[in-house]
Amino acid sequence: MTMDFSGQVAIVTGAGGGMGRAYALELARRGVAVVVNDYGGGVLGEQNGSSGPAEAVVAEIAAAGGRAVASGRAVGTAANARSIVQAALDAFGRVDILVNNAGTGIAGAFTAHEDEAIERHYATNLIGGHHLMRAAWPHMAAQRYGRVLNVSSNGALGVGGNAPYAAAKAGMLGLTLDAAIEGKPLGILVNAVMPTSYSRLIEQIPDPATVAWFRDNLPPEKVAAAMAWFLSRDCTRTGRILLTGGGRLSSLIYAETGEIFDPEISAEKVGRRIEEIWDETTLAPVHNQAEAGARYFRHLPWTAADTPDFGPDVERG
């Protein structure tokens, strides 16, 4: 059964090449009108850019009979986020799907980079996506429907020599998990993906054999094909972290290891029982803050009349 994307509008950032282009083409071939956003700069965060790459993808979509417009705005500021969303509203009248794919690389030793490069990296890889969600959110909430995919990376788990990238991509996970809770009752589903794919960033790897393996086995089109379901009306899951590449798809969860409880806890007692804490034989999945907090109730029972609530006073699913 073919999924129905009729009448929908998507914004895809970083869509002038690589995975972003694959997302834009996949959605367009399914009938989605697409805002193809790409500032046309380098993958390492260079600031010189143009709308040329975005316009080239728009031409591809148009040649195949689809609908698309180009946006050459750089993600990273609230003003540009509002402009990108407005481009969707001006061209197509609505916004249903947001793929926060834009990203840059900044590998190197922990103290290797200039202040401006670090700040620009966070702006592109984390803050820009947050601003775009803020700009699109009211429109999605008003129509009681939205699908957001935030592109993270398994680099968030740690690589070495990649601290800004790891931190920004880990930030995308927190952004996803929190927004998913708030968005669910509004009809806005928010998920994250850690793709493993050939991309413009992979081309920066100095080892030719590694680049060739990615190119031959992990085309970006397979990431986009897998993620299309999570951007569809059929999807009912939110707050999930997906891992995909080359036709493989799984999900990643947080989990607690073994524990100790001692009302008289001390550093010395921790030292004596540390292996119990590291024990991974009885992992307990933790999907949100409420689940994490509830694990304390086994040792510290809740006695108040009201049901415990670890969240803020906002509408949440």
Annotated active-site positions, please?
Answer: 165
Q: Residue 9 pairs with which residues in a beta bridge?
A: 33
- Residue 152 in contact with residue 192, Cβ under 8 Å? yes
User: 3-state class of 195 per DSSP?
Assistant: strand
Copy the structure tokens of residue 41. 């700069």
Residues 6+ apart with CB under 8 A from 96: 8, 9, 10, 32, 140, 143, 145, 146, 147
How many other C-beta atoms lie within 10 A of the C-beta of residue 135? 22
Contact 8, 42 (CB under 8 A): no
Q: Report whether 132 contacts 78 (CB < 8 A).
A: no
Separate counts of helices (H) and strands (E) for the chain? 10, 10
What's the CA gap between 177 and 181, in Å, rounded?
A: 7
